[in-house]
C-alpha cells in the first residue's frame, strides 16, 4: 500500500485528495495556503485536518526510512531471511520494527557477548534446541577452555545461560506478548519520600492505579514527583503469569534441559526483559501524556489568541506591584503610546489619594474608556483601587483583569527593546497589558507561546514538539484573521504564510523607507520576497487604505480576474462592493446556478463561495463574531464569597479534569468536569473554551487554602 492510499483510508478521504495534499506539501506550500486557497484539490478540509495529515505523513516517512535502514543493516550482516523480511513488512509501529531489529543491533559488551567470545554460543544453541539427551555436564565438558576463560563446567553453563537469556530478551514475539500483558494488567505504584517538596505529592503516598486507566495529567504529576525525588515509582505486574507467557514460547515439551531453560527464563525476565519493558512502557506513557498535554495547550491557545479585539477604545494598562508601584501606560485606538506614569496605591506605600488624583487626571486627559489590569502580584489590591475610583468618576469607565503571563518576558526581550527603546521594562510591560485587551492576537504572538500560561506542565514537555505544535496554532490563527501589512510588527508578519522573520523585517524596512503599501503588488518589490513567497502570503495580507478594495479581503490576487468575471456577469462593478447592490450577489448566483457561475469564472465552487463571502464583508475581522470580553465595574475578594452565590465568570484555562474560571476575586475557581454539565463528557474541552463567558454557582470556599469550587450545571438549574 502506498502512502497516499494508506493515509486516505486513515483519514477517510478520497485517495486523489491525499495525493494532492502530499504533492502540495512536497512543493513547499504552507498549510494555511493549502487550506484556504487549494480547496478544490483536497475537498475543503480544514487546516487542522491538513496539519494532522502532515504529521502522519512525516511519521510514515520516518517509519519507512527506519524500515529501509533496518533491512539494509540486517542484509549487510548476511542474516536476512524471508521470515524476518515478512515480519518487517507486517510491522506497523516503530516499536515493532525495533523489536525485530533488536537481535541484529550492534551491542555494547554484555554478559552474553562475553560468553559468545569464549566460544559458548554452540553450547547455548544445543541446549536451547531442547532435542538431545546428553546431560548438561557432558555437553559442557567439551567447551572448557582455560585460554578463553572457561575454567570449568559451571562457567560454561553460566555463559550458555547468559546467551539464552539474551536471546529470549531479543525475541520480538515474546516482547510483543509481554508488552500487551503488562499494558493490560500492569499497576503503577508510588510511595512518598520525605523531603522539603513532599507535601506537594501527598496524594501519591501509597498510591496505585492500573496503567490502562492512568489519565495523562496523573502520569505527568507522578513523573514530576519522581524527578523531584519525592516519589518512588514502580510498575507491578503478575510475575508468575509473565514467566508463563515466556515459557509457553520457549519450552519444547519435557526436555531434560527444561529446568535449565526455566532458570534462564527467570534470569532473562528479572535482569533484561522486565526492566527494558518497564522503561519502554514508562516512556510510552509519558509520550502519550505529553501529546495529550500539548493537545491541551493547542485547545486552550487558539481561543485565547482569537479573543475579540477591543477596537476603537483608549486603554490604560496597569501593571500592579507593591514596593515599586503600579506602572501605567495609556494607548490610543491604534496602539500608540499616549502617556505613562507610576502610582503607589498598594502596600507598603498606600498612597491611595495621590494615586486616585493621578489616575483620574490621566483618564480625563486622554478620555480613557477601559482599564486593563495585569493579574500578577498586587492585582487584587489594584483591582479594588480601580473599582473604588471609577465609582467616583463623572464618566463611565470599565476595567478587565487580563492574563499577564509572559508580559515580563516580552518587556525584557530583544523585540520589546526594539519596539520601545525609549521606555524601560516596567513601562513596556504596562503597554503590553493594555495591548492584550486591545488586540490579544497581535500582542501575544510577541512572546514565546510556552510562556502564555495555558495548559499544564509546559516546562516538562518535549520543547521542540511543543514549540512546533503551538507555532502551528499561532500560524493558523494569524492567517485566518489576516494581517494589516501597514501596521503589523515583524513578529506578527513572521507568522504569515510564506514569510519568515527575515522577510518580515524587510517588509517593515520597506514600509519605513517608502511609506505604506498601496497595493499587494508592491510586496514584490520587497527584498527576498520572491514569486513563491508572494503566492503564499498575498491572500493573508491586508491593505486597509487600498487602491483596490480586494486588497483588504482574503481574496487571493490570483482570483482577481475571476472576481471581475463574476461581477461583470451580473452587471456589477468593483465600486459596488460595500454598497447595497452587492447584497444581491448570492441570490443572483443561486438563480444562475453556482456550478455554472464557477465554470464561467474558471474557478472551483469552494473558491467561488469564499469570494462571495469576502465581497459581502470586505475588511471583516472574524474575531468580532465571537462573544466580547466581560468588562467589570466592581471588585470582590474570596472573603465575599458564600456557597450558593451565582456569579458571572470567564474561563481562563481548560485542563483534563476541569476548568479554571475567573470570577473576579483574584483566585480562579475550579469547575470539576463533573460540574460542567449533566450529560457525560470525556473531556472539559467538549463544552468549554478559554475566554468563554459562563455563569457559575459557588459550591465550596476555603479562604485558608485559597480554593474555590464552582458549578456550571448547578447555576443553569438555578436559572
**How many Cβ atoms from other residues are within 10 Å of residue 10's Cβ?**
13
Alpha helix (H) residue ranges in 199-273? 216-227, 239-250, 258-268
> What pLDDT score does 341 carry?
96
Name the nearest CA neighbour of 72 among 61, 60, 84, 83. 84
Is 420 in contact with 407 (CB distance < 8 Å)?
A: no
**Is a pLDDT exceeding 80 seen at residue 286?**
yes
Q: What angle do CA 130, 131, 133 make, to 5 degrees?
A: 100
C-alpha cell at 577: 462592493
Residues contacting residue 528 through CB under 8 Å, at least 6 positions apart = 502, 503, 506
Domain 3-104 has CATH 1.10.3720.10: no
Top mean-pLDDT range of 215-219, 269-273, 445-449, 477-481: 269-273
Fold of 315-454: Nucleotidyltransferase; domain 5 (3.30.420)
Report in angstroms the alpha-carbon separations of 430 from 201, 234, 362, 426.
36, 48, 15, 7
**Is a pLDDT exceeding 80 seen at residue 624?**
no
Name the nearest CA neighbour of 656 among 210, 294, 293. 293
User: pLDDT tier at 139 (50, 70, 90 boundaries)?
Assistant: very high
Lowest mean pLDDT among 269-283, 365-379, 446-460: 446-460
| CA end-to-end distance (rounded Å), the chain | 57
**Is a pLDDT exceeding 80 seen at residue 452?**
no
On the question of a common fold for 3-104 and 315-454, the answer reads: no
Return the bridge partners of 429, or none.
none
Average of per-residue pLDDT values in the chain: 91
CATH superfamily of 638-718: Nucleic acid-binding proteins (2.40.50.140)
Q: List the domain boundaries for the chain.
A: 3-104, 315-454, 638-718
> What pLDDT score does 665 carry?
78
- Tell me the residue ranges of DSSP E strands in 90-230: 187-192, 207-210
> What pLDDT score does 453 carry?
67
> What pLDDT score does 377 carry?
84
User: pLDDT tier at 132 (50, 70, 90 boundaries)?
Assistant: confident
Cβ density class 309-318: b for 16+ within 10 Å, e for less: bbeebbbbbb
**Is a pLDDT exceeding 90 seen at residue 698?**
yes
Name the nearest CA neighbour of 401 among 478, 495, 293, 317. 317
Q: pLDDT, tens digit, for every residue of 429-438?
A: 999 999 988 9
Higher pLDDT, 124 or 253: 124
> What pLDDT score does 692 carry?
87
Q: pLDDT, tens digit, for every residue of 225-252?
A: 999 999 999 999 999 999 999 999 999 9
Local structure of 560: helix, strand or coil: helix
**Is a pLDDT exceeding 90 seen at residue 354?**
yes
Higher pLDDT, 622 or 207: 207
Tallying the residues shown for the chain, one arrives at: 719
Q: pLDDT, tens digit, for every residue of 204-226?
A: 999 999 999 999 989 999 999 99
> What pLDDT score does 56 carry?
94
Read off the DSSP letter of residue 202.
G
- Cα separation of 316 and 331, whole Å? 7
pTM given for the model:
0.80
> What pLDDT score does 634 carry?
64
Amino acid at each position: 500500500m502506498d502512502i497516499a492510499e494508506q493515509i486516505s483510508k486513515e483519514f477517510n478521504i478520497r485517495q486523489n485528495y491525499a495525493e494532492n495534499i502530499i504533492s502540495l506539501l512536497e512543493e513547499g506550500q504552507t498549510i494555511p495556503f493549502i487550506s484556504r486557497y487549494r480547496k478544490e484539490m483536497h475537498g475543503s478540509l480544514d487546516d487542522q485536518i491538513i496539519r494532522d495529515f502532515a504529521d502522519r505523513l512525516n511519521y510514515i516517512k520516518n517509519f519507512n526510512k527506519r524500515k529501509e535502514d533496518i533491512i539494509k543493516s540486517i542484509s549487510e550482516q548476511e542474516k536476512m531471511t524471508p521470515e524476518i523480511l515478512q515480519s518487517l513488512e507486517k510491522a506497523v509501529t516503530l516499536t515493532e520494527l525495533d523489536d525485530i531489529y533488536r537481535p541484529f543491533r550492534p551491542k555494547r559488551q554484555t554478559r552474553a557477548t562475553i560468553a559468545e567470545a569464549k566460544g559458548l554460543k554452540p553450547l547455548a544453541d544445543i541446549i536451547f534446541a531442547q532435542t538431545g539427551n546428553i546431560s548438561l555436564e557432558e555437553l559442557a565438558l567439551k567447551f572448557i577452555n582455560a585460554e578463553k576463560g572457561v575454567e570449568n563446567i559451571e562457567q560454561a553453563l553460566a555463559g550458555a545461560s547468559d546467551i539464552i537469556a539474551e536471546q529470549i530478551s531479543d525475541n520480538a514475539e515474546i516482547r510483543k506478548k509481554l508488552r500487551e500483558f503488562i499494558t493490560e494488567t500492569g499497576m503503577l505504584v508510588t510511595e512518598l519520600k520525605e523531603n522539603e517538596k513532599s507535601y506537594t505529592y501527598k496524594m501519591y503516598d501509597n498510591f496505585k492505579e492500573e496503567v490502562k486507566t492512568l489519565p495523562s495529567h496523573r502520569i505527568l504529576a507522578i513523573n514530576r514527583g519522581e524527578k523531584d525525588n519525592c516519589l518512588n515509582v514502580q510498575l507491578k505486574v503478575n510475575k508468575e503469569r509473565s514467566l508463563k507467557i515466556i515459557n509457553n514460547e520457549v519450552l519444547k515439551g519435557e526436555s531434560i534441559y527444561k529446568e535449565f531453560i526455566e532458570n534462564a527464563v527467570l534470569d532473562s525476565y528479572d535482569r533484561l526483559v522486565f526492566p527494558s519493558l518497564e522503561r519502554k512502557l514508562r516512556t510510552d506513557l509519558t509520550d502519550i501524556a505529553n501529546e495529550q498535554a500539548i493537545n491541551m495547550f493547542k485547545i486552550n491557545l487558539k481561543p485565547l489568541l482569537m479573543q475579540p479585539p477591543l477596537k476603537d477604545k483608549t486603554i490604560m494598562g496597569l501593571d500592579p506591584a507593591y514596593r515599586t508601584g503600579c506602572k501605567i501606560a495609556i494607548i490610543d485606538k491604534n496602539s500608540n503610546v499616549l502617556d505613562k506614569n507610576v502610582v503607589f496605591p498598594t502596600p507598603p506605600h498606600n498612597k491611595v489619594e495621590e494615586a486616585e488624583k493621578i489616575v483620574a487626571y490621566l483618564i480625563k486627559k486622554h478620555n480613557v474608556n477601559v482599564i486593563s489590569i495585569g493579574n500578577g502580584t498586587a492585582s487584587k489590591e489594584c483591582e479594588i483601587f480601580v473599582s473604588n475610583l471609577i465609582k467616583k468618576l463623572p464618566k463611565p469607565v470599565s476595567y478587565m483583569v487580563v492574563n499577564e503571563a509572559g508580559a515580563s518576558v516580552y518587556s525584557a526581550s530583544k523585540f520589546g527593546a526594539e519596539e520601545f527603546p525609549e521606555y524601560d521594562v516596567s513601562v513596556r510591560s504596562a503597554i503590553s497589558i493594555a495591548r492584550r485587551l486591545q488586540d490579544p492576537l497581535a500582542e501575544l504572538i510577541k512572546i514565546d507561546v510556552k510562556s502564555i500560561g495555558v495548559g499544564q506542565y509546559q516546562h516538562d514537555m518535549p520543547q521542540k514538539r511543543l514549540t512546533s505544535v503551538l507555532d502551528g496554532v499561532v500560524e493558523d490563527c494569524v492567517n485566518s484573521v489576516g494581517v494589516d501589512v501597514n501596521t503589523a510588527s515583524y513578529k506578527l508578519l513572521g507568522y504569515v504564510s510564506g514569510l519568515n522573520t527575515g522577510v518580515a523585517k524587510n517588509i517593515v524596512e520597506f514600509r519605513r523607507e517608502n511609506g505604506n503599501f498601496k497595493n499587494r503588488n508592491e510586496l514584490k518589490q520587497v527584498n527576498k520576497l520572491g514569486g513563491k513567497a508572494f503566492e503564499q502570503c498575498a491572500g493573508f495580507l491586508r491593505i486597509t487604505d487600498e487602491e483596490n478594495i480586494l486588497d483588504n479581503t482574503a481574496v487571493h490576487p490570483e482570483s482577481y480576474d475571476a472576481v471581475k468575471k463574476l461581477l461583470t456577469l451580473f452587471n456589477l462593478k468593483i465600486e459596488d462592493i460595500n454598497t447595497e447592490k452587492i447584497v444581491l450577489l448570492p441570490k443572483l448566483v443561486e438563480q444562475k446556478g453556482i456550478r455554472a457561475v464557477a465554470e464561467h469564472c474558471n474557478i472551483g465552487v469552494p473558491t467561488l463561495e469564499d469570494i462571495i463571502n469576502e465581497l459581502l464583508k470586505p475588511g471583516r475581522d472574524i474575531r468580532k463574531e465571537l462573544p466580547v470580553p466581560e468588562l467589570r465595574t466592581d471588585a470582590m475578594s474570596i472573603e465575599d464569597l458564600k456557597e450558593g452565590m451565582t456569579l458571572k465568570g470567564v474561563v481562563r484555562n481548560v485542563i483534563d479534569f476541569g476548568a479554571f474560571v475567573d470570577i473576579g476575586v483574584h483566585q480562579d475557581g475550579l469547575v470539576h468536569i463533573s460540574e460542567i454539565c449533566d450529560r457525560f463528557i470525556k473531556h472539559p474541552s467538549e463544552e468549554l473554551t478559554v475566554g468563554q463567558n459562563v455563569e457559575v454557582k459557588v459550591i465550596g470556599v476555603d479562604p485558608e487554602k485559597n480554593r474555590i469550587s464552582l458549578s456550571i450545571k448547578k447555576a443553569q438549574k438555578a436559572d
